[in-house]
Amino acid sequence: MVAVTIQKVRLHRVKVPLKQPFSTHLQTVKERESILVEMIEMGGEIGLGECVAFSSPWYTEETVQSCWDALQKWLIPEIVGKTFQEPSELFQALQFIKGNRMAKAALDLASWDLFAKKTAQPLWQFIGGVRDSIDVGIVLTGSVDAAMFSRVEAARKMGYRRVKIKIDGATNVQDLKQLVDAFPHMLFYGDGNGIFHKLGMEALVAFDEVGLTLIEQPFLDDDWALHEEATRLMTTPIALDESIRSYADVERMVEKDAGRIIVLKSGRVGGITETLNIHELAKIHQLPMWIGGMIELGVSKAHNLALASLTQMQLPGDFSASNHYWEEDIVTPAIMLENGRMKLSNRAGIGVALNHQVLQTYCVESWHSNCLK
Ligand code: OSB
Ligand code: MG
């Protein structure tokens, strides 16, 4: 391990329009507001991070503004000028601050990129990844109608082998079954985002005949008993997304048998350090995991790709190419599919750099900490 002294941290707040709105029963996202992190060490190396909170608290409590404030007022002052032997030490230095996991994750991600670069290793190798290319999937929102068949077919032609469909009050079991049956070589996930809290257990169990690979988060974050009941009643495995906010939540999922698959979002659990701890627990209990998306830009996606190389990441995650949501991603090279997979980079760190020209187009505000002299 190398010692890294943090010289300063730069933040860029961006607003990037989506090509098409991302619509679920929870919210319609038309523009992605986000924070990009540049963590600069004394030798001049830069680690990149991205904060995945949304503009308003429709998905998690944190927001871009709450993270912007927490980073500047409490988190960054704790690390500037300090020397760390490894990323988990930097993460530990932030733990006296309660919650604010997405804000912490933005720094934790940047520190993992920084340490990987300092040791001249690709991040996926630095964290012990076991595969150099990743099976990927796309998320298609909107109703299950004739247009959805064409969109799935278009995704198939692009090379995606997994499609995640959002389930809401209007999703018809038979329509969804027809879609799934029409693409026998494709995996389909159904994401409830808590909708069955309203629709009820019986409505959920009806989806068992669809042939989905899994159903993601049918009930709300803390509906542990309902998720346990669903796991007991259904053949289709239950995957928990919103419910998994920490290592302790995975312990709870196992203890209660409230789900059989983990949807991991590193932002929601506080970053890569906590993700690796969760990954160890998942290994012990032989729980499959996959990486959930946050409509993120290329920095977070590159970190996610590295995480997807870990042993327990046994199902294709939410990995669409840069050109699915964005006219131009803020990273170079852009993230692309090659024969239906994404290749992990041989470059040190996350393998992508900021495209400063694109960043400038979408940047609404920048901030930097005081320099360490
Ligand atoms: O529930 O998985 C979710 C996006 C924003 C908020 C919540 C979710 C999602 C997605 C992933 O479905 C979309 C993507 O990044 O492709
Ligand atoms: Mg989800």
Catalytic annotation on 166? yes
Amino acid at site 64:
V
What three-state secondary structure class fits 107?
helix
Q: What percent of the chain has pLDDT over 90?
A: 98
Amino acid at site 317:
G
Q: Which of 243, 295, 296 to mutate to test the pocket of ligand 1 (most atoms within 8 A of CB)?
A: 295
pLDDT for 100-154, tens place per residue?
A: 999 999 999 999 999 999 999 999 999 999 999 999 999 999 999 999 999 999 9
Q: Which listed residue (166, 198, 256, 301) is catalytic?
A: 166
Looking at the CA of residue 138, tell me the nearest atom of ligand 1: 16
CA of 83 to the centre of ligand 1 (A): 35
Whole-model pTM? Answer: 0.97
Catalytic annotation on 265? yes
Spatial CA neighbour of 67 closest among 91, 39, 36, 89: 36
* Ligand 1 in reach of 274 Cβ (< 6 A): no
Q: Which listed residue (8, 265, 301, 373) is catalytic?
A: 265
In whole angstroms, what is the distance from residue 349 CA to residue 333 CA? Answer: 14
pLDDT for 34-71, tens place per residue?
A: 999 999 999 999 999 999 999 999 999 999 999 999 99
* Ligand 1 in reach of 141 Cβ (< 6 A): no
* Ligand 1 in reach of 218 Cβ (< 6 A): no
Mean pLDDT computed over 251-265: 98
Residue with tokens 């198939």: 156
Helix H or strand E segment including 101: helix 101-118
* Ligand 1 in reach of 295 Cβ (< 6 A): yes
HSE of 238 in the Cβ direction (CA atoms, 13 Å)? 33
Rg (alpha carbons) of the chain, rounded to whole number: 20
Predicted confidence at residue 1, as pLDDT, reads: 65
Whether residue 373 is predicted with pLDDT greater than 60 in this model: the reply is: no
CA distances from 147 to 150, 153, 210 (A): 5, 10, 19
Confidence band, pLDDT 50/70/90 cuts, at residue 372: low
Q: Which of 139, 219, 324 to mutate to test the pocket of ligand 1 (most atoms within 8 A of CB)?
A: 139
Predicted confidence at residue 370, as pLDDT, reads: 83
CA of 114 to the centre of ligand 1 (A): 27
